[in-house]
Every structure is written in C-alpha cells, then in structure tokens.
Chain A
Amino acid sequence: MVLLAIARLGDNAYGVSIRDEIKACTGRSVSRGAIYVTLDRLENRGFIKTWLADPTPERGGKAKRLCRVQAAGKRALIDARTVLEQMWTGLDPQFGKS
C-alpha cells in the first residue's frame, strides 16, 4: 500500500502525504511509525530511493524525506498485481459476480 501510495504521489511522496493518500484511497488510518518502518524496509530492498528536500516554514524549517519508486519497486508492484489477478481468476461466481 505504501509503495502504491508513493507511486501515485510521484515527486511529492513523503511521510505526511503518503499517510494522507492511503487514508483518501482506502479510508484506513495507518500509524506514522508503521509508515517510517516500511519506508526503511523498502529502501533497504532497493524498491524506493529517499532523499532530503529543502526545509519549509510549516515544518519549522525542517527538511522532508521525499521518496521515489525505483525500477525494482515497479517490478515488485507489477509482480504483486499479476499474482493477485491470477489468484482471483475463477473466483467471481463465489463472490456473487458473473
């Protein structure tokens, strides 16, 4: 979800915006701690790249940690979607869809 949110946000993906995007798309609130832990893991695996951007006054002069999806991250998202679609094949009647 975090990786998808970063992909959706493009160049404006950072802790606050990622959380807001997930809330807007799914209606779920995710804890900040979970997001930061996930960002570390995604970066360690090479799925995203992070860097510190310029500070802004509304952040008390502190820099943002911006994120961008890397090629490995894109591949991981595509693979995950493919697997999901394959697993869903033939299940529509069970869930009341023809």
Chain B
Amino acid sequence: MDWARSAVREIMNQEQHFRRAEKLLGCFLPPEAVESLAGDLEEDMRRVFLPKYAPRIAVLWYWTHIFGILLQIIGRTLAACLHPSAWRNALNGVSADLRIAARSLRQNPGFTSIVLVTLALGIGAGASIFSVVNAVVLRPLPFRDPNRLTYVFEASTPTPDAGNVLAVRPANYFDWKQQNHVFESMTAYSSRRVALTAGSAAEIVWSHQVVADFFETLGVYAAVGRTFIAEEYENESSRSAILSDGLWRRRFGGDPHVVGQEIVLDNTAYKVVGVMPPGFYPTAYSTPEVWMPLPLGGRLKHSRVDWLLTPIARLKSGVSLPQARADLDLIAHGLAGQYPATNRNFTAAIMPLPEFVLGRHNRLFVLLLASVGILLLITSVNVANLLLARSAERARELAIRGALGASRSRLVRQMLTESALLAMLSASIGVLLAYVSVNPIRALLPEASRIPRTADIQVNSHVCLFALVLSVAMSIVFGVAPALRSARIGVDATLREAGRGATLGMRARRLADALVAAEVALSLTLLAGAGMIVRSLVNLERVDPGFRTDRLLTLQLRVPSGRYPNERAVVALLDTVERRLKELPGVRSVALTAQIPFQQIYNPWSFIKRGQTKDAAPSQSAHIQRVSPDYFDTLGIPLVQGRSLRPDDVDIALPVAVINQTMAQRYWPGENPIGTTITVDLTKEKRAVTIVGVAGDAKLKGVAAPAFPEIFWPLAQSPSPDCYVILRTAMADPLRIGPAVRAELSLIDRNMPVLAMRSMDQALTESLWQPRLSTSLLSLFGLLALAMAAAGLYGVLSRAVTQRTQELGLHLAMGAGAAQILRLVLGQGLRLTLTGIALGLGLCVAFSRLLANQVFGVTTLDPLTMVAVCALLTIVATSACLLPALRAIRIDPMEVLRNQ
C-alpha cells in the first residue's frame, strides 16, 4: 500500500505543478492558448517522459519547457512592439480608450467631480511644497562643481554647529592658504551693508568685498563686462564694482552699456566693470548685490585680531572632507603654538558649502514633504475606494463587454486609461492651485527666515513635470486594484445579479474596509502632527518676551561713512537723531541699539572677574548688547538691581555695564554682582567694565531661545554705522508715526537711508515664521485628510447598508428596533475607525521623530493632544456614519420581503 500512497502523492504533486504553470502562463496568454499549450505539454510528459524517467525529472523537463515558451513569447512581443505598425495600432488603441474613458466620465458628473476635486487638492498640495523645495534646495548652486566647495571658519572645534563658527582673521587666512595641501584654490570675502546711490534714489544693499581668485575659485564669470583683475585687488584706492543681475535690472533697467557707469557706495564713487549672471549667489546669511575688491595689504594682512573674512576653498580632486579637516587642524595647532595669545583654543572648521547654505532648514523641509506625502497617500486611498465602488456599479457593463469579446487585458487597459485621464485632469487643476498658492507661501517665508532663494519660488516646468509624474504614479496606485478587479468579473454571475444593484465581492469589501482604516490611520498621523505644531505656536505666542512689544516702532539707520569719518562724528549724529526723534509728537522715548530684538546673532565673548585668570575660568562668556541709556525704559525691561546706563557714563574713566539676571545668577550665585569689575576679551582688546545694574531677562534673540548671559554697555563707547532705532509711541499702531520719523531723519541728513521700518509686534510675528509656516500647512493638510477620511467612511458605510439591505430588512421584519439597527451600522463604522486609530497611533510614533526640534513647550507625543485628536476623529467618523445608519432604519421590511 505504501507504493499506492506514494503514487497518489506524486500525482497530487504533479497536479500542483500543472496548476502553477497554468497560472504563470495565464499572466501572458489568453485562457484558450493556456489550455492548449499546457495540455500539449502535459500530454507529452505523460506519454513520453513519465514512462521512462522518474517523476521529478519529468517535472523538471516540464518547467524547462514552460520557461522556454515564456521567453519566446516575451521575445516575440518585444519584436512586435518595435515594429512601426505596432506603434500605429497602439496609438489607435489609446485614442479609442481615451474616447471611451472621457464619455464614461462625462456620463457620471457627480463621481467625476468628487474624484477630480480630491485628486486636485492632493496634487496641488504636493506641487506647492515641491515648488518650494525645488527653488530652495534642489536647484544646483550657480558654481562650477559646487560639491567641491567648502566654507572655512574659525571655531573652537573642527566640527562645530553652524551657529558656533567665527569669521577668520586675515593672517590666519593667509597661513592656511599657504600651508595647506588639500585645496586647489582658496579665496575669501567680507560682507557688509552699504548705502547705494545710483541716480536719485538710495537703498541699502548687501555687498561682498572679495579677495584675489574669488570668481576663479567659484568658477563663475561675468555675464556682462568682466570680473576684477589682479591690479584691482592689490591697489587700495581701487574703486571698481560688479553688480548682481537683479540690481542691474532693477536700478539700470538691464542697460547693456552699464559697464563704465558710476555708482556711489557709502558716499564713495565706484565704476561698474561687470554684471554677474542671474542667481549668483545665495549665502547663508545674505544675498550680495554688489562686489568690490578687498585689498588686504598693510596692517590688515598681518592682523590676528580682526575677525573679518569668510573663506571659501575648492578641494583638490580626490581629497575628502576628513582629510581636509585633518590637514587644516594640523596647521591650526601649529599656529596656536606660534601665536598663543591670539590662536590658542581656535582651530579651522570646514563645512561643505552646499550643506551650509541650503541644508540648515532640512528638518523643516523633510517635515513638510512627509506631511504632503501622507496627504497624497490618503488621496490615493480615497480615490481607490471610490473607483472600487464604481467598478462594482459597472460590473454589468464590463461583463457584457467581456461577453462580446473584449479581452481581460483590454478591460484592464480601459480602466487604467480612465484612471490616468482623471489623474491628468486633476494634475492640471492641481498645478493651477499650486500657482495660486505661491504668493501666500512666499508670505510665510519672510526675510527673517534667512531661507535663500525664496524669491525664486514659482510654478515652473520642473514643478509641472513633478505634477505629471505624481499624477501618473497616483493613477497607478489608485487605479490598479479596481482595474484588476474589473478583469476578474465573471459574466454569468454578474448578469444573474442584474436585479440586485451594485455589490462588491467579499474580497473587494475587505479591501475597501482596509483602505478606509488606512485613511483613518494616516489622517490621525497628520492631525496629531498639526495638533502638536498648533500647541507649540500657542505656547510660543504666550511666552513673555521680558519687555513690552506693543506701541514700539523700529527702523534701521545707515550712517553715511564719508560724511561721518570718525567715531566722535557718528556719536554726535546718533545723539542728534535720538534727541530730535524724542521731540516728535506721539513719541514717549527713543533708544538706539546695534542689534534689533528677535533678529540677533549671538556671539559669546569670554570674560574673567577681577582676580581670576583665564585658565581658572575658561567657560565664562556672555553676549554683548550695545545700547543707548534709554534702552531699558523704551523697551520696558525692568531693572531688578542697581541702576540703568546714563548719558554721562561715556565720560567716566572706568566704563560701566548692566548685566541681565541670567548672567548674575549663573556667575554670581547668591552674591551681589553690583560693583564687580570684569574684563571682557574682545580679542582686538580687553575691556574692563564695572557692573552697575542687573536687568530682567528679555528674550532678545527670540521667544523660543533659552535665556543667555548678556552684558549691556553704552553704544556711544563703540558706535556702529549700522544701528537700529526703537521708539516707544503713544499710538496703538506705531506705524502711523512712520512718515513723521522719516521726514525728521531726512531733515537731519537727507543722505542717510532709512530701512526696515516696522512695529516690534511685526518683528515678533516674523520671528515666529517657522512655526507659523508649519502650523498653516500642517493644519490645512490635517483638515483635508479629516474630510477625506470622513468621506471614505461615509462611502464604505453607505455601500455596506446597500449590500445588507436584505439582512437589515429581515431584522426589522423580525422586530428589531431602530436602536438595534443603528448599533449594527454604527458599530461597523466605529470598528473601522478604531482600527484606523490603533494603526495611526503606531504611525504617530514614527512621524513624531520629524517633529523633534520643531515643537516648543510640548512633547512630540503629547498625551493631551493625542486624546483630543482621537476624540475629534471619532466624532467626525460617527457623524459620517450617521447618514447611512439613518437610511438603514428607514428600510421598508415589507419591500425587502417582497423582493426576495
């Protein structure tokens, strides 16, 4: 009996092989061809091989021939596709499919509109975010081989954070340039704002003063005229200038004869020698519009105290970043040994230029891309569900077409064409939506964001191509399942069910349920992220900045250097400005400062107390604020100890300063710092100051920034040609006094440009640009996702009620109450919702990683937010399920029984 059992087992195994082979052939051939081919092979195997060889050998022979046949079919298909007549036939087929698809969509305007709107919103959102990422990050920088370019800074470690780097001193720059083995060229620039006067109008622009080899190192040359020649770098009296493309078009109307014309920069005449190409170039902090040569001769060349230069270097071919870092670190160590007074504790920090310029906001862009990706997934899932339902409604039509000779592949192609047509139409609408959203998005990225190239955000050919690719991908994602399902529709069963309306098979129903649960899960993720960001923004807006931001007007002044050649002249001018503005009606007090609140770049300076040595106190540092005496009164910063600065402090032999509470508590815990003298190491000099007061902490860097030790000393002791004026006004809208302020400043000196006039409240709002941007976009995406999830749930429940009409009617006929029916229907909806929520909680854990560093005052999985979002989803889902549930309880049981 063993042989019989073994024989039966072998036969059963062979049957499995035959079935598998038929399934495989069925993917490539029509059913009749599969049957005859498989039958021929089986006949040969039984007749020729099984009598002579072991069954396993026969099975091996069988599969060898199956694969051989498949290869021949594929080869023949490829050859046919490459034939010109094949292309003609394909085109004819495609145009026929498109005509049928268009007619079908026209005949169902309700369905078509819902799908178009859903897809257009998703594609529009995707295209909008892509337009930002494309303009800011993806476009290559306008240099030759930008990945070989690096910034070189001074820092305390070779790999510091981007915020802890320092400019480079000229002597160090020349030593690194001479001694390194890793750079094929090295250059540098120094940036500052200049007052540009060309014609009658004056404006403040960023300028870069550049040293020799600047344009050659970057590998970019002038589009009009030329770049600087060697003599211009060496000659200190050189007065050549190069303009940016934007400035040339804005101030000179793109005049091709601009070379040789004169412009005035800070009251000094320069001759234009060239214009750079468009887009040249963004940097981490400013976009220059004018370039001048920086002759580094005389004292400056040997200076190790002027923190002046930002070097850019091009790596030699084959040299890696770690090798370059090691080489410069070695040189820096040598210099520290040679010049301990100036170079001890400093080394060289090399940062890839593209990463430094473009990579600082990567986390934000990744968050936005992930969010819009989730929205696109939800959109695809929603549309897939709609198409699945539609395929059920069209089952009869498709069955008849199949009976009339349409092949399975033809039906699949037809359904996919319809999906593709929907996707293309939606892509067009989506691109329009993206176009409309460009300006609002740009408004969410103010200059304070320091995101480069925001002016270039637009809907261009790249964005349109992205929308097209996205629509094709989405049409595959949401179109495949319904298309394959339509191909499997059996004629007999479908036509027999003609009287029962549209139904989905069990598998398709489960797929629809799974899709809706997935929608709910993804919506929860987006809503939770939006909730965290919203709470974060609310927390930020509630932070007390430590001073009163209302009724404050701010503006920036640029002291024309040619007319005020020394510090005394600048101080006298600033005194006049302060005095005359204070006399204006509606102005309560005026303050001057070198850095405006909410836009400050912090540079900590080390200090020691009297009696301490530097070695004993290596980690004492503070940020320096240069302010006028009325600064604390004007801003409303309280004095908690001692006194404020006074106008006559400038005349005292020993300079004085006020410190903030954080500095007092950190470095004088439990002690009184008033009367203490500290010496601040400014590298160029060491300044001893006596502490006369302690002010309350103010969030001058930004409301999200932690408190930092700060020293306030008189602006008059080291005046800056760029300074800010802050006016405490009597008006609720301080901008109303703006014209009077401009007029008064013009009377003082009509060549003194005034810019960036705005209220302190506006400055505070702009400083919160990042959470505002995240909040706006994530909230919008979250609400869209919620609406789609609700629509998806409604659709599934509605179909379920239709399919269960008989069952529910029987329940009602047997005495079930409305409450019981409601429980049945709502129960199904809630089960789907809760399944989705459970899945979504898992997704939230992954998504929360993207929220790290984007939230303030709340954890990335804040329980309160999660509970609120789950509750919101459940309420909305229940509301979406109510309509189908109410329809269910209105079923007429008598009608159902009659139709049985």
Contact = CB atoms under 8 A, between A and B. Distances in A.
Interface of A: 14-16, 31-34, 36-37, 52, 55-56, 58-60, 62-65
A97 B42 CA distance: 46
A62 B38 contact: yes
Given A31-B68, A59-B39, A64-B39, 7 more contacts: A16-B40, A58-B46, A60-B42, A64-B36, A65-B32, A65-B33, A65-B36
Contacts of B875: none
Contacts of B73: 33
B308 interface: no
A31 B15 CA distance: 24
B36 A32 contact: no
B74 to A, nearest CB: 11
A62 B40 CA distance: 9
B76 A15 contact: no
Given A33-B73, A34-B72, A14 B36 contact: yes
Interface of B: 15, 18, 32-33, 35-44, 46-47, 65, 68-69, 71-73, 76
A55 B43 CA distance: 11
6 contacts: A16-B44, A37-B76, A56-B43, A59-B39, A63-B35, A64-B40
Given A16-B43, A16-B44, A32-B41, A62 B69 contact: no
A39 B547 CA distance: 91
Contacts of B18: 60
Given A16-B44, A60-B18, A65-B32, A33 B39 contact: no
A48 to B, nearest CB: 14
Contact of B39 (A31, A34, A63): A63
A52 B46 contact: no
Contacts of B44: 16
A13 to B, nearest CB: 12
B47 A58 contact: yes
Contacts of A15: 36-37, 40
A33 B38 CA distance: 12
A4 to B, nearest CB: 19
A60 to B, nearest CB: 5
Contacts of A64: 36, 39-40
A59 B38 CA distance: 8
Nearest to A36: B37
Given A16-B44, A58-B47, A65-B32, A36 B69 contact: yes
Q: Which 6 pairs between the two chains have the least Cβ-Cβ distance?
A: A62-B39, A33-B72, A65-B36, A59-B39, A15-B40, A59-B43
A31 B64 CA distance: 12
A96 B33 CA distance: 47
A57 B37 CA distance: 15
A56 B36 CA distance: 11
B39 A55 contact: yes
B42 A59 contact: yes
B843 to A, nearest CB: 49
Contact of A62 (B15, B35, B65): B35
A15 to B, nearest CB: 4
A65 to B, nearest CB: 3
B422 to A, nearest CB: 35
B40 A32 contact: yes
B343 to A, nearest CB: 79
A76 to B, nearest CB: 21
